[in-house]
């Protein structure tokens, strides 16, 4: 067959294209003529009507909505701001009244008998009552001003009861006490019925009034006890020429919230903005600014909208005219009015899309007109449709006739070929070329291709059957080899359940079906435990066989009582004597004397072990490396001693851990390994290994494992002791006091120390720790080591604080004379006196360039 202009002359391609082009040409010409005729009629009838209606809709909608909003929206916003401001005005009058009464009482204290207020009483919950709260460590009975302020109980109860806007009223004093009136007494008690400490001088209403030195509004805050959202109005209370406290009123938000909620509708929003331009009250489910009633605010100045920022500044000062601005992708009308009493503003926002509803109503009328025009068009085009259908019917009849004539020549050979191929697939017979396929076109080429494919397929099936059988045999053998290798390694944990002196856990994850890494541990005798970790060069079956030989030799030498250096030397001689494949193995081996914690170890080219002391973190032990086993004969190995204390931990591993790589070919490295171990260094051996596995999985993600991963974790518990010792080191900062007390309390709780004695120890530790943090290092920061020791037989605990600061003996100073008035006593000395009174014995020494303060106490354990 010849080709011309991409067509195969006389072939199937030419026959098919000729038929399709003929049908499409007729269809396009007919459809184009009909479409052009219909479009001319449709455009002439509809286009004029559409233009007229659209112009009318736009003009009427814009003019009407602008006039309506200009009048109603601005006046409504001003009215809402005035209503909200009226609530705050009433509260301001009350707070001034409360300030005046409080200052009058304090200025005339010589004419009044102090009244001692009551602590919160749960029985009065739900009824307005007066009560006293105080900060942690403050004795309210020692307050000089509280007894005078308590005379205001009745006026304050009446003030709250007579106003539906006041949730609570209170006067916080500079000595850390708080006299308050509300109906939520139960919320101020803990589960045991004791008053909850109240940090009055840290509350926003207290600090804000002190800072402003006058009337102060907090904005929306959460009540410290009930969690209710309120706005607090506060003002300083002064006496004797100085500020002695702050009076405050909690404002119920319902009235202001009603302004926001009542105006909420689809596309319409009302917000309350503070004097910094922050939304502090907005509608729930706000989809415009994302603001709602909460402590968190939205700063409108920070949105990057200059027009919006200027509008907010104007609304805080005066009532704004109707303003249109863009907020995100939306266009909105806005109006604002100030709340002079508090310095806030009310802002109303209406989405312009809502104002366009009249326009949409008029568009519906436009649609009706358009439908009328369409009906006229349908009537006139009915005749055209009949003509079009007749033309299509003639075209369809012509196409069917042409397709039938062509299919007799094209389809019959293809159908016959399909039948033969189907029979070949069912019976396995070969497809064969015959004269029926000699059509001198693509069908003939296809038949020849099937004939060749059929012969090659028979040959391929035979080859694949042989390959599959061989692959299944190898897979089965590798599976058995993996099971054998896994069985050779200790895999039951805990391995020695009757031994409490230590705990260990190990795992191996080969990169292939079998690996060259191995670990081992076994008891040489009742007092000696052998630990091994090794990595054979290479992977797969050869490495696994070499691993089994090395493991057997190492264990045999260890059981003979040889030292770690001798074990490595003997193993090296045995391997080198018949190492025809030039393989080698790195080994770390250690023998632990269980009773003493002494570990003798040697390293033949293996990774550095990681060691964690009981009071520290995991760190690499960079021991001396000997030559790898199998490299050369007559090699001597060094061994070293590592003294383990109870709580010390050991982590050994193969290079598959630090050299694991991710998809970008970056190594996991030793730094990430140590970070994973120190994520929870106090975890048990199994958990430590899991921490490293999890960190590796997160790092590697879906990258393929290319090396065996083997790890062993070990913790030395030591023999049973009649006492306890715990030590912790931290920066000498006051912010670490809570951590120091938690450490001491944890030790005392383990000893079942009575709560009274625990609190006495805590007070002594707190005073001593704060002194070190404030004075030991001057302006610098240094470490302090805190130790707790206990002797169960004597029931005595010893707490020691050691720092490397300036030498200073806190016991050298004489105790202050508590019989003298406070103004006559010298400053200082009370803290160390408290330490002496709470502990049985306190001593100081300066040893090894450290201040060491030792405190002892019998706790009756």
pLDDT band at 67 (very low <50, low <70, confident <90, very high): low
DSSP class per residue in 517-533: EEEEEEEEETTEEEEEE
**pLDDT at position 608, please?**
96
Per residue in 667-705, pLDDT (tens digit) is 999 999 999 999 999 999 999 999 999 999 999 998 888
Task: Decide which of 414 and 533 is more confident.
Answer: 533
DSSP state letter for 776: I
DSSP state letter for 608: P
Tally of CB atoms within 10 A around 326: 12
**pLDDT at position 794, please?**
73
Residue 502: name the closest of 680, 711, 647 by CA. 647
**pLDDT at position 833, please?**
87
Task: Decide which of 720 and 413 is more confident.
Answer: 413
Contact 210, 243 (CB under 8 A): yes
**pLDDT at position 628, please?**
95
Task: Decide which of 275 and 429 is more confident.
Answer: 275
Per residue in 254-265, pLDDT (tens digit) is 656 665 665 555
* Residue linked to tokens 């009274």: 756
Contact 658, 608 (CB under 8 A): no
Residues 6+ away with beta carbon under 8 Å from 353: 267, 330, 331
Per residue in 700-736, pLDDT (tens digit) is 998 888 788 999 999 998 875 556 778 899 999 999 9
The token pair that represents 57 in the structure block: 């809709």
**pLDDT at position 62, please?**
61
End-to-end C-alpha distance for the chain, whole angstroms = 108
The answer, yes or no, to whether residue 561 has pLDDT greater than 60, is yes
The answer, yes or no, to whether residue 77 has pLDDT greater than 90, is no
Task: Decide which of 351 and 710 is more confident.
Answer: 710
- Mean pLDDT for the chain overall: 82
**pLDDT at position 294, please?**
44
Task: Decide which of 654 and 542 is more confident.
Answer: 654
Share of the chain above pLDDT 70, in %: 76
The answer, yes or no, to whether residue 642 has pLDDT greater than 50, is yes
Residue 75, SS3 per DSSP: helix
pLDDT band at 422 (very low <50, low <70, confident <90, very high): confident
The answer, yes or no, to whether residue 630 has pLDDT greater than 60, is yes
- CA separation (Å) from 546 to 368, 643, 699? 91, 33, 31
Residue 421: name the closest of 433, 410, 411 by CA. 433
**pLDDT at position 293, please?**
46
Helices (H), 213-351: 254-262, 306-315
Cα distance between residue 490 and residue 496, in whole Å: 11
**pLDDT at position 666, please?**
94
pLDDT band at 218 (very low <50, low <70, confident <90, very high): confident
The answer, yes or no, to whether residue 804 has pLDDT greater than 70, is yes
Per residue in 390-408, pLDDT (tens digit) is 776 777 677 666 655 665 6
Residue 530: name the closest of 595, 599, 623 by CA. 599
- CA separation (Å) from 818 to 811, 829, 833, 842? 17, 11, 10, 20
Cα distance between residue 565 and residue 591, in whole Å: 11
The answer, yes or no, to whether residue 660 has pLDDT greater than 60, is yes
| Planar angle of CA 206, 207, 211, nearest 5 degrees | 120
| Planar angle of CA 307, 312, 316, nearest 5 degrees | 150
Cα distance between residue 296 and residue 293, in whole Å: 8
Per residue in 576-617, pLDDT (tens digit) is 988 777 889 999 999 999 988 999 999 999 999 999 998 899
Contact 735, 835 (CB under 8 A): no
**pLDDT at position 489, please?**
85
DSSP state letter for 796: E
* Residue linked to tokens 């105790």: 815
Cα distance between residue 568 and residue 830, in whole Å: 64
Mean pLDDT of 325-341: 87
Per residue in 743-788, pLDDT (tens digit) is 999 988 888 888 999 999 999 999 999 999 999 998 899 999 999 9
Per residue in 118-177, pLDDT (tens digit) is 999 999 998 999 999 999 999 999 998 999 999 999 999 999 888 888 889 999 999 999
**pLDDT at position 418, please?**
72
Q: What is the CA radius of gyration of the chain?
A: 46
Contact 283, 292 (CB under 8 A): yes
**pLDDT at position 410, please?**
65
Cβ burial 540-575 (10 Å sphere, 16+ → b, else e): bbebbbbbbbbbebbbebbeeebbbbbbbbbbbebb
């Amino acid at each position: 067959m010849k080709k011309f202009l991409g067509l195969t002359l006389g072939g199937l391609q030419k026959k098919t294209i000729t038929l399709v082009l003929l049908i499409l040409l007729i269809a396009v010409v007919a459809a184009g003529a009909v479409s052009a005729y219909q479009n001319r009629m449709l455009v002439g009838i509809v286009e004029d009507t559409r233009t007229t209606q659209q112009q009318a809709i736009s003009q009427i909608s814009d003019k009407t909505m602008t006039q309506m909003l200009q009048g109603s929206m601005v006046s409504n916003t001003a009215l809402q701001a005035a209503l909200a401001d009226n609530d705050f005005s009433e509260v301001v009058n009350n707070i001034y009244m409360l300030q005046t009464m409080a200052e009058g009482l304090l200025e005339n204290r010589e004419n009044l008998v102090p009244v001692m207020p009551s602590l919160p009483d749960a029985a009065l919950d739900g009824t307005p009552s007066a009560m006293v709260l105080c900060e942690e460590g403050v004795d309210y009975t020692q307050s000089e001003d509280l007894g005078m302020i308590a005379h205001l109980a009745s006026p304050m109860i009446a003030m709250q009861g007579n106003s539906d806007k006041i949730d609570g009223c209170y006067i916080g004093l500079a000595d850390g006490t708080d006299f308050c009136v509300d109906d939520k007494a139960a919320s101020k008690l803990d589960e045991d019925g004791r008053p909850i400490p109240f940090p009055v001088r840290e509350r926003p209403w207290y600090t804000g009034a002190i800072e402003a030195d006058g009337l102060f509004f907090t904005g929306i805050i959460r009540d410290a006890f009930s969690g209710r959202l309120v706005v607090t109005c506060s003002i300083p209370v002064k006496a004797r020429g100085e500020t002695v406290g702050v009076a405050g009123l909690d404002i119920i938000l319902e009235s202001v919230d009603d302004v926001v909620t009542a105006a909420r509708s689809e596309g319409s929003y009302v917000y309350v903005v503070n004097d910094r331009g922050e939304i502090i009250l907005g509608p729930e489910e706000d989809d415009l600014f994302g603001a709602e009633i909460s402590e968190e605010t939205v700063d409108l100045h920070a949105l990057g909208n200059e027009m919006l920022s200027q509008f907010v500044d104007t609304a805080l000062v005066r009532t704004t005219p109707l303003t249109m601005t863009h907020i995100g992708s939306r266009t909105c009308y806005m109006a604002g009015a100030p709340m002079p009493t508090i310095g806030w503003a009310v802002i109303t926002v209406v989405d312009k899309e809502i104002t366009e509803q009249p326009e949409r109503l008029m568009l519906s009328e436009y649609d009706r007109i358009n439908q009328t025009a369409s009906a006229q068009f349908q009537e006139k085009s009915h005749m055209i449709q009949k003509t079009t259908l007749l033309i299509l019917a003639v075209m369809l009849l012509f196409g069917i006739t042409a397709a039938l004539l062509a299919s007799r020549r094209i389809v019959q050979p293809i159908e016959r070929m399909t039948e033969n191929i189907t029979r070949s697939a069912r019976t396995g017979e070969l497809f064969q070329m015959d004269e029926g396929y000699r059509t001198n076109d693509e069908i003939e080429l296809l038949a020849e291709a099937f004939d060749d494919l059929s012969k090659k397929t028979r040959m391929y099936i035979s080859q694949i059957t042989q390959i599959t059988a061989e692959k299944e045999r190898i897979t089965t053998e590798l599976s058995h080899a993996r099971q054998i290798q896994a069985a050779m390694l200790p895999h039951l944990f805990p391995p020695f359940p009757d031994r409490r002196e230590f705990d260990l856990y190990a795992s191996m994850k080969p990169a292939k079906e079998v690996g060259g890494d191995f670990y081992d541990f076994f008891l040489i005798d009742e007092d000696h435990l052998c630990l091994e970790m090794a990595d054979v060069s290479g992977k797969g079956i050869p490495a696994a066989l070499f691993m089994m030989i090395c493991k057997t030799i190492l264990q045999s030498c260890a059981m003979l009582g040889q030292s770690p250096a001798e074990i490595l030397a003997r193993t090296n001689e045995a391997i080198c004597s018949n190492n025809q494949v030039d393989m080698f193995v790195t080994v770390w081996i250690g023998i632990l004397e269980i009773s003493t914690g002494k570990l003798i170890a040697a390293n033949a080219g293996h990774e550095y072990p990681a060691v964690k002391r009981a009071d520290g973190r995991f760190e690499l032990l960079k021991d001396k490396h000997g030559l790898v086993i199998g490299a050369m004969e007559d090699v001597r190995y060094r061994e070293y001693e590592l003294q383990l204390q109870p709580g010390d931990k050991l982590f050994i591993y193969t290079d598959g851990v630090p050299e694991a790589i991710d998809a970008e070919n970056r190594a996991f490295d030793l730094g990430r390994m140590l970070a994973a171990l120190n994520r929870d260094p106090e975890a048990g051996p199994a958990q430590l290994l899991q921490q490293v596995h999890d960190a590796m999985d997160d790092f590697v993600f879906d990258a393929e494992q290319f090396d065996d991963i083997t790890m062993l974790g070990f913790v030395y518990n030591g023999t049973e002791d009649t006492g306890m010792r715990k030590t912790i080191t931290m920066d000498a900062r006051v912010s670490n006091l809570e951590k120091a007390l938690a450490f001491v309390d944890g030790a005392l709780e383990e000893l079942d120390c009575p709560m009274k004695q625990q609190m006495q120890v805590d007070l002594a530790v707190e005073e001593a720790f704060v002194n070190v943090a404030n004075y030991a290092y001057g302006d610098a920061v240094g470490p302090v080591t805190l130790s707790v020791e206990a002797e169960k037989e004597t029931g005595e605990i010893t707490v020691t604080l050691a720092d490397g600061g300036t030498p200073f003996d806190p016991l050298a100073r004489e105790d202050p004379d508590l019989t003298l008035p406070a103004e006559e006593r010298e400053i200082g000395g009370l803290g160390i006196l408290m330490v002496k009174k709470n502990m049985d014995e306190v001593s100081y020494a300066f040893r090894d360039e450290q201040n060491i303060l030792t405190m002892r106490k019998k706790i009756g354990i």
